[in-house]
Structure 1
Amino acid sequence: MKKTTHQLKIGNSKRNFLFISRWGESLDIAYTTQQEGNSVKLFIEDKPSKEIGHGFVQKVQDWKKHLQWADIVVFDYTGYGEICEELRAAKKIVFGGSQYTDSLELDRNFGQNELKKHKVKVLPSKEFQNFEDAIKYIKQNPDMYVIKPCGEIQELKQLLFVGNDESGLDVIRVLQAYEKSWGNNFGKFQLQRKVKGVEVSVSAFFNGKEFLLPLNITFEHKKLFPKELGVSTGEMGTSMFWVKSSPIFEATLKKFEKTLEKNHFIGHIDLNCIVNGNGIYPLEFTSRFGFPQIFIQRAGINEPIGNLLYKIANGEKFTINVKKGFQIGAFIVVPPFPFEDKKTFNLFSKDSVVIFKKELKEGVHPMHLKNINDEWLITGNTGIALLISGTGTTMKDAQKMMYNRINNIIVNNSYYRTDIGDRWFEDSDKLWSWGLL
């Protein structure tokens, strides 16, 4: 097909990108956008994370002073929705959320009610303001539950607890422990009924009017240790693939298309679900980049990521050019991850060097790093060093590429999961049998 002048301009233009980051998580995207020939400036809000990205891209202290310079502003996290809307009203090109999508993610009760309003089946859940009422509720309604913190505290992923006791006794014990350690500072939380099945996410980019194809199907590995043992970390790794259509998408996210347009959303949105032979049960929204999802998606996208973000934010309608097969990624982390402990971080991890046995950096995504004299050093305070990705026509091919790349890297005291992607072989059989692939 012959390209129009406008399409050629978009493909060849070099632009000014201003990245607004909560914790520096979008360093890899900003750095890659710069390597593609664009000018990039990065602002990081969190003070302990301020060193992240130093030496990779230009850092700024006050992002508002650079708005006029920017051709596009990219927000990498939830909570900036009101600012995004103000900038869009001022005719800036913005990739980011809205007040509505902020609420979908941060206010779990709101998210569940919106799902019901859009005729999406949800699991029973109840919101609580204190532990005493929650414990009383479980005793009156014995069952398996999941504890889900709400608001900003949900970023402490180790606080999410998935119960296994059919009478809820394990959840009661955890709530009692939280009451002793957190008191009244915990804030709102949700108890959600637990069901067994396959945990799978469906996500898509949204250009302000409609979802762009293909869709992304993602399988997260959240526990610290292999075979889903240990504390919840948010994520240790992910496997994924792209599809033109999905029964899960049609039953859930697709129903939000008009609402997202009405509420001025332009960005990426993900809905995590539990699915089984009885149905599809949405768990929670992520209405921004997923981490590490976006890095692994980048490994599977066949066009410059900066160009992609600009076209989406500019309201372009197009099909994303992606690799066939599978993409996979694993975090390499260091102490005290997944916990916060400044003394441990300073003792074992701060300024540790990332060493490459061979100078091969394809599929290596810098996370909480700084670049000093061409040496990659760990900084920040959480201990997330790198995300390593791999791709392949089969899941085993993608795994092999990723773990070969991991074996090329030495980071003192580091650890990572050795089973990312293994779940796919059993999960895919179940999904096929339920008609969900």
Structure 2
Amino acid sequence: MFNFVIMQRNEHQKMSTKNQKKKDVSPKNDQHIKRNFLFVSRWGESLDIAHASQQEGNSVKLFIEDKASKEIGFGFVPKVPNWKKHIDWADIIIFDYTGYGKECEELRTAGKIVFGGSEYTDQLELDRNFGQDELKKHKVKILQSKEFFNFQDAITFVEKNPDAYVIKPCGETQELKQLLFVGNDDEGHDVIRVLKAYEKSWGNDFGNFQLQRKVKGVEISVSAFFNGKEFLTPINVTFEHKKLFPKELGVSTGEMGSSMFWVKDSPIFDATLKKFETTLGKKNFIGHIDINCIVNGNGIYPLEFTSRFGFPQIFIQRAGINEPIGNMLFKIASGQKFTINVKKGFQIGAFIVVPPFPFDDKKSFELFSKDSIVIFKKEIKEGIHPMHLKKINDEWLITGNTGIAVMVSGTGLTMKDAQKMMNNRIANIIVNNSYYRTDIGDRWFDDSDKLWSWGLL
């Protein structure tokens, strides 16, 4: 446990802190109060939120854990090399990734206002088998899956039980999104070939993984913010686009873009996340949680949890939220109950990326992409969300090592309106060697018909 938990403080400090907290969490003072925001980031993904919170008048400090990502955010927001030294300075501490649950719980115990996970929600996301067991415990229908610790056992299983399967890495390996493989062969021959290839290339270093029976339908996720006691409304419904190329071709990237909208009620939410409301309160969770599902005429089948901000989900959500994001996160973290003020209609966003995305190739990144400039034809940056960038002499330069330059968002009363706004903004940007998907949002026109007919919208 951190030193600050056991640090002795005099009575004056205790009273001062107590009175300040009472002042800060009062809804009457709301967004006009300027606060100190400490962002603790795994890969630098929270730069956009930190930058927006700073533009709203708050003081911000950003810590990035990953060494290769340390330059991200330079020139946009103040950076710190050790977040723990700034705990007492912060009015709120925001963790943007899974794996900090223990620290979040200790900070809350010490009286800090924290937006982030818990040990329970970390396990929900990182341990796929635990997540599936919890779904069953909460009486949520799940797809058949089986855990394996070596490739040969998995190959033998598919040979004896021919079907279409999805290969899902667990633990740290699941961060390499291109390793997730969705089989198309009803006999499982394609899955067997991929398992044999992984065995040759990874050996015993791959770790455990799941084979999950594939089911056809619409892939959709529902998410909500949780204030420590209950979910806040409206609920967010998201359609992810994970493959590198349009029409769902190429390798899995984790995400190339998303479309979404906000709703007061959702049958999918009621059948999945809503059942976890009491448990999340007991398990000391305060933050954002998402569950990805496949749905069809036979039912709703949860696939996996994301018990943190989704990326790029949170940036596109921000485009659809009509209140300062920093103030909203503070209200959630301090346990306030309120209705989030959101735009009507649709929100959409696409990543603009450069080589070697989605692969890890340091030489290619340094040769083609490092320090490349994000050029704006017109100096209009509304809806442009900085990702793995630094700012020097007011120029946006690509840094880090992944090749994610910016996220571009758009909003509109119809999906086509949102697409038009996003595409107009993309047309204003020049990034050498860049690429992005041109079909983000197109799924909606087909998927919505199916969802309406199944009674899920």
**TM-score normalised to the size of structure 1?**
0.99
TM-superposed deviation, 1:24: 0.1
- For 1:430 and 1:7, the matched residues in 2 are separated by 41
Tell me the equivalent position of 1:265. 285
Q: Do structure 1's residue 87 and structure 2's residue 107 form an aligned pair?
A: yes
Partner of 1:398: 418
Runs of 4+ with >4 A deviation:
none
Q: Does 1:28 align with 2:48?
A: yes
Answer yes or no: is 1:162 the counterpart of 2:182.
yes
SS at match of 2:236: strand
2:367 matched to which residue of 1?
347
User: Secondary structure in 2 aligned to 1:7?
Assistant: coil
1:49 matches 2:64: no
Over the matched positions of the two proteins, sequence identity in percent amounts to 82
8 Å CA contact 2:384, 2:409 repeated in 1 = yes
Instruction: Select which of 340, 345, 352 maps to 1:320.
Output: 340
Q: Distance in 1 between matches of 2:318 and 2:220?
A: 19
Question: Which residue does the alignment assign to 2:151?
Answer: 131
**Contact 2:31 2:324 (8 Å CA) reproduced:** no
Asked if 1:381 is matched to 2:420, the reply is no
- Structure 2 distance, partners of 1:127, 1:166, is 20
Give the deviation of 1:10 after TM superposition.
Answer: 2.2
Cα distance per residue 1:235-273 (max 9 Å; x no partner): 000000000000000100000000000000000000000
Counterpart selection for 1:286 from 292, 296, 306: 306
The residue identity in structure 1 corresponding to 2:110 is: A
- Equivalence for 1:296: 316
The CA deviation at 1:323 is 0.1
For 2:391 and 2:308, the matched residues in 1 are separated by: 27
Q: How does 1:19-418 map to 2 (within 5 A)?
A: 19-418=39-438
Aligned match for 2:442, one of 414, 422, 425: 422
Distance 2:88 2:30 in 1: 20
Code of the aligned partner of 1:293: Q
Alignment partners' CA distance in 1, 2:364 and 2:259:
31
Structure 1 unpaired stretches of 5+: none
* 3-state SS in 2 of match to 1:37: coil
State the AA in 1 paired with 2:270: E
Tell me how far 1:12 sits from its aligned partner: 1.1
Shift of 1:295: 0.1
User: What is the distance in 2 between the residues matched to 1:325 and 1:20?
Assistant: 32
SS at match of 2:382: coil
Please tell me the root mean square deviation across aligned C-alpha atoms, in Å. Answer: 0.9
Matches of 1:11 and 1:350, distance apart in 2: 38
Can you list the C-alpha shifts for 1:368-396, whole angstroms capped at 9, x where unaligned? 00000100000000000000000000000
The 1-side partners of 2:28 and 2:382 are apart by 27
Question: Does the residue aligned with 1:324 lie in a helix, a strand or coil?
Answer: coil
> Aligned partners of 1:418 and 1:48: how far apart in 2?
29
Alpha-carbon offset, residue 9 of structure 1: 1.0
Supply the distance in 1 between the matched residues of 2:374 and 2:408 (Cα, whole angstroms): 13
Query: Which amino acid letter does the alignment assign opposite residue 274 of structure 1?
Result: I
- Whole-angstrom distance in 1 between the partners of 2:201 and 2:401: 22
For 1:119, the aligned partner's letter is K
Cα shift at 1:152 = 1.3
Counterpart-to-counterpart distance in 2, 1:195 and 1:367: 34
Give deviations 1:322-352, integer Å, cap 9, x for gaps. 0000000000000000000000000000000
Q: Residue 8 of structure 1 aligns to a residue in which SS?
A: coil
The one-letter code sitting in structure 2 at the alignment partner of 1:171 is V
Q: Which amino acid aligns with 1:185?
A: D
Amino acid at match of 1:423: R
Q: Distance in 2 between matches of 1:49 and 1:12?
A: 33
Distance 2:28 2:140 in 1: 41
**Taking structure 2 as the reference length, what is the TM-score of the superposition?**
0.94
In the TM superposition, what whole-angstrom CA distance separates every residue of 1:290-328 from its partner, at most 9, and x where no partner exists? Answer: 000000000000000000000000000000000000000
Distance 1:239 1:34 in 2: 26
- CA deviation after TM superposition for structure 1 residue 6, in Å: 2.9
For 2:171 and 2:427, locate their aligned partners in 1 and report how far apart those are by CA, in whole Å. Answer: 38
For the Cα contact (< 8 Å) 2:143–2:301, is it kept in 1? yes
1-structure distance, mates of 2:332, 2:214: 36
The C-alpha deviation readout for 1:131-168, integer Å capped at 9, x for no partner, is 01000000010000000000111010000000000000
Contact 2:94 2:114 in 1 (8 A): yes
Q: Distance in 1 between matches of 2:203 and 2:112?
A: 43
Shift of 1:11: 2.3
Question: Matched residue of 2:163: which SS?
Answer: coil
